């Protein structure tokens, strides 16, 4: 459980003293054994729910660090939050009877007060949770789109969505033993989270507490807490942050795309066109602008709480990628009419093949890769043969679908390459790491070569001719 930084000395009514936020005092009433909401969270929870925030985002802003709390079904969370706040209302009614002399401003008001109504006038619809209606049941209320996460922690935490993504993964026929899940969120979510943070910070200030952005559970973090076990069960492999196989989901929300635009007017220096970027409103640019903008300026241009959206986010892309695989070996070239790499001038091929192509076509087929990058330790001219032990080379296979090969399978692949052409032969074919490639390139700048040549002349060479040649200065050109 992550505690509010300003709540390091929280008042305990039953004990008559202060209690640490990490140790629950007898008066700390939890929503359940997993959610761990306390008395100090009630005003914030009520405020956020009334302004259109989903239960999981309520947990985030109440700094709930229990992963299991977020994994519970949305309906269960909504029902238990309803019970939690109803319990608070009942306690308040008792307080009103026993301590009638206390002014209302000194008690936590859980009804829809005038202040909350003012907040709703900013455009936020009241959440589907009405605590002052005794007959209201969360199961019978309509689900509204969260005004902070835009439905990411609602619609996209369900089993149907997980199955849809996993169907895409399985249909791509990748080979993997674990996975890492990455998600790309619309940049305007940062704006909406900032607005909700200002709202919660203001409410907590009334209690003498504080809340920094770092205390809030990040949306991506909470989402991965929920989604990782679901994906792991469906795919049958564990989630691993160091996995070489990545499942990526990209969200968009066109309805609120303009949420970020006022930041470009306030801090244009944060929004500079970037290469290969379709929009200047990147997540990092928006975060930079939010760090610079003053609170009063932000409130002038954006409602706190944020407006309630009509639609959920949409998934615009589901992509799978395997990290690159590196294959190394040595090649001999026996032809004097074969370039190392494709020889193409002005779009026209000069020779029909190359060393690179004769090797890579077999690797591409076996590894089922999207593309490749060939490199070698030096190169030879088209009419020069490469004999002896051969020239070291590596091929980077980009996004391979197959990644596991035994030593025997690599030996068979080597034989397949060698039997396909009499122009080249490869040896020592093996899988290597990215780091191992550095050894092949090491020393290229310092490496020197010595050439010897046998000359014929139409006349005998005299000592004067040798002296003349010795005096000739040879220019050195960097390669």
CB-CB contact of 188 with 260 (8 Å): yes
Q: Would you say residue 213 has pLDDT above 70? A: yes
pLDDT at 458: 86
pLDDT at 97: 37
Tokens 């590596």 sit at which residue? 394
More confidently predicted of 323 and 456: 323
Lowest mean pLDDT among 338-347, 410-419, 447-456, 459-468: 447-456
pLDDT at 450: 64
Do 262 and 355 belong to one domain?
Answer: no
pLDDT at 443: 58
pLDDT at 451: 65
pLDDT at 27: 36
pLDDT at 445: 63
Lowest mean pLDDT among 62-76, 130-144, 279-293, 323-337: 130-144
Q: Would you say residue 55 has pLDDT above 90? A: yes
Residue 464: inside a domain, yes or no?
no
Residue 477: inside a domain, yes or no?
no
Lowest mean pLDDT among 283-292, 308-317, 392-401: 283-292
More confidently predicted of 277 and 297: 297
Residue 311: inside a domain, yes or no?
yes
Please choose, from the candidates 253, 121, 269, 115, the residue with its C-alpha nearest in 3D space to the C-alpha of residue 191.
253
pLDDT at 209: 85
pLDDT band at 243 (very low <50, low <70, confident <90, very high): very high
Q: Would you say residue 252 has pLDDT above 60? A: yes
Q: What is the mean pLDDT of residues 281-303?
A: 91
Q: Would you say residue 89 has pLDDT above 60? A: no
Q: What is the mean pLDDT of residues 114-136?
A: 39
Tokens 């790499």 sit at which residue? 341
pLDDT at 25: 34
CA dist., res. 169 & res. 156, Å (int): 17
Backbone angles phi, psi at 180, to 5 degrees: -120, 135
Residue 458: inside a domain, yes or no?
no
Tokens 């006349």 sit at which residue? 459
Of the chain, the percentage scoring pLDDT greater than 90 comes to 50
Mean pLDDT of the chain: 80
pLDDT at 452: 66
**CATH code: domain of residue 363:** 3.30.70.2510
Do 159 and 170 belong to one domain?
Answer: yes
Domain of 403, in residue numbers: 324-443
Which of 346, 381, 422, 470 is flagged as catalytic?
381
Instruction: Choose the final residue of a domain: 294, 321, 348.
Output: 321
Instruction: Choose the final residue of a domain: 321, 353, 383.
Output: 321
**471 noted as active-site residue:** no
Residues in the chain: 479
CB-CB contact of 5 with 211 (8 Å): yes
Do 181 and 57 belong to one domain?
Answer: yes
Q: What is the pLDDT of residues 6-52, one digit of tens each?
A: 333 333 333 333 333 333 333 344 444 334 788 888 899 999 999 99
Lowest mean pLDDT among 190-199, 275-284, 391-400: 275-284
pLDDT at 276: 65
Q: What is the pLDDT of residues 151-160, one digit of tens each?
A: 999 999 999 9
Cis check: omega of the bond before 22, within 30 degrees of 0:
no
Of the chain, the percentage scoring pLDDT greater than 70 comes to 76
CA dist., res. 418 & res. 427, Å (int): 9
Do 230 and 297 belong to one domain?
Answer: yes
Instruction: Choose the final residue of a domain: 321, 353, 388.
Output: 321
Q: Would you say residue 286 has pLDDT above 70? A: yes
More confidently predicted of 209 and 192: 192
**Residue 95 CB partners (closer than 8 Å, separation 6+):** 102, 107
Do 269 and 252 belong to one domain?
Answer: yes
Q: How many domains would you assign to the chain?
A: 2
Do 184 and 112 belong to one domain?
Answer: yes
Do 290 and 430 belong to one domain?
Answer: no
Do 328 and 300 belong to one domain?
Answer: no
Handedness of CA 262, 316, 251, 244 (dihedral sign): negative
Do 250 and 395 belong to one domain?
Answer: no
Tokens 């969260």 sit at which residue? 146
More confidently predicted of 366 and 103: 366
DSSP 135: T
Residue 23: inside a domain, yes or no?
yes
Do 310 and 329 belong to one domain?
Answer: no
pLDDT at 102: 38
Please choose, from the candidates 463, 377, 362, the residue with its C-alpha nearest in 3D space to the C-alpha of residue 410.
362
Residue 159: inside a domain, yes or no?
yes
More confidently predicted of 272 and 373: 373
Q: What is the mean pLDDT of residues 99-111?
A: 34
Q: Per mean pLDDT, which of 29-38, 199-208, 278-287, 360-369 is the most reliable?
A: 360-369
Do 161 and 63 belong to one domain?
Answer: yes
Do 317 and 388 belong to one domain?
Answer: no
């Amino acid at each position: 459980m992550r505690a509010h930084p300003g709540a390091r000395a929280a008042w305990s009514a039953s004990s008559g003293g202060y209690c640490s936020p990490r140790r629950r005092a007898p008066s700390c009433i939890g929503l359940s054994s997993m959610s761990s909401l306390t008395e100090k969270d009630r005003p914030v929870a009520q405020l956020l729910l009334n302004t259109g925030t989903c239960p999981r985002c309520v947990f985030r802003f109440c700094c709930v660090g229990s992963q299991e709390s977020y994994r519970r079904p949305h309906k269960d969370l909504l029902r238990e939050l309803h019970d939690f706040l109803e319990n608070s209302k009942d306690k308040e009614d008792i307080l009103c009877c026993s301590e009638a002399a206390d002014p209302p401003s000194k008690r936590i008001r859980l009804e829809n007060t005038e202040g909350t109504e003012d907040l709703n006038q900013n455009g936020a619809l009241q959440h589907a949770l009405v605590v002052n209606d005794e007959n209201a049941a969360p199961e019978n209320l309509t689900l509204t789109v969260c005004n902070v996460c835009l439905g990411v922690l609602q619609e996209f935490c369900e089993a149907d969505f997980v199955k849809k993504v996993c169907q895409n993964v399985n249909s791509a026929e990748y080979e993997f033993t674990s996975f890492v899940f990455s998600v790309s969120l619309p940049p305007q979510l940062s704006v909406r989270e900032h607005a909700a943070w200002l709202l919660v910070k203001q409410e907590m200030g009334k209690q003498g507490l504080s809340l920094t952005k770092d205390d809030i559970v990040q949306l991506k973090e909470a989402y991965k807490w929920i989604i990782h076990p679901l994906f792991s069960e469906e795919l049958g492999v564990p989630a691993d942050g160091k996995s070489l196989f990545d499942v990526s989901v990209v969200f968009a929300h066109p309805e609120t795309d303009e949420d970020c635009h006022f930041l470009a007017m306030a801090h244009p220096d944060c929004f500079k066109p970037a290469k290969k970027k379709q929009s200047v409103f990147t997540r990092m640019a928006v975060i930079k602008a939010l760090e610079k903008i003053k609170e009063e300026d932000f409130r002038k241009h954006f409602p706190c709480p944020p407006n309630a959206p009509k639609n959920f986010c949409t998934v615009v892309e589901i992509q799978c990628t395997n990290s690159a695989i590196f294959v190394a070996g040595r090649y001999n070239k026996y032809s004097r009419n074969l370039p190392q790499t494709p020889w193409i001038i002005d779009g026209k091929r000069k020779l029909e093949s190359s060393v690179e192509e004769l090797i890579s076509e077999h690797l591409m087929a076996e590894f089922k890769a999207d593309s490749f990058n060939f490199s070698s330790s030096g190169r030879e001219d088209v009419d020069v043969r490469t004999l002896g032990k051969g020239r070291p080379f590596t091929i980077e296979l980009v996004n391979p679908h197959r990644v596991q090969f035994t030593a025997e399978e690599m030996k068979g692949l080597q034989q397949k390459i060698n039997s396909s052409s009499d122009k080249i032969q490869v040896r020592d074919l093996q899988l290597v790491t990215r780091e191992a490639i550095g050894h092949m390139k090491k020393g290229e700048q310092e490496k020197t070569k010595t050439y010897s040549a046998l000359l014929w002349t139409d006349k005998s060479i005299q000592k004067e001719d040798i002296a003349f040649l010795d005096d000739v200065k040879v220019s050195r050109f960097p390669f």
